[in-house]
Structure 1
């Protein structure tokens, strides 16, 4: 369970309050289409969800706040996007702001 504190990040390579880059994936095609930045605010391990292929999977999610550069499709207006300034992201989609050893490594 996320506590929105430093304790959430004890076994993470990221720190509570750290500014990180987010690799943005296309929701239908899965390919990376850009980057945004956000601040780590909470972390929750072993969150279950259904993948695009219908299989059950688990991931560690990180709640990011103060996001810059992230837009998603608008719920009520077709072909329109809206800025999002806080959201959950898979931890594997996050990168250090500079010199991350995982730069160039793909994730699923």
Structure 2
């Protein structure tokens, strides 16, 4: 289980995940073929459509499969996936200006 705290705004031009701003971020390292859960907690005033390359995840308890999930302002959303596609995959906010301002990192499936 990986907690993903989304932050930024509030007068700052930077956006981040877990207090880290791309490119100065740590990779999220997961074991191949193992289940992974991300718990997104949005601490900002804006919604964030979080996107993961290379995988589809299930959102909440209903099992809907997606590659992007909207995390509402001050909201909490959980997603689950099986890390069955090895490599380094970008994980970022699909509001492009948020990604360009630092809200992205790498998921490393080994």
* Alignment TM-score, normalising by the size of structure 2: 0.29
Q: Which protein has the larger Cα radius of gyration, Structure 1 or Structure 2?
A: 1
Taking CA–CA contacts closer than 8 Å with sequence separation of 6 or more, which of the two structures ends up with the larger relative contact order?
A: 2
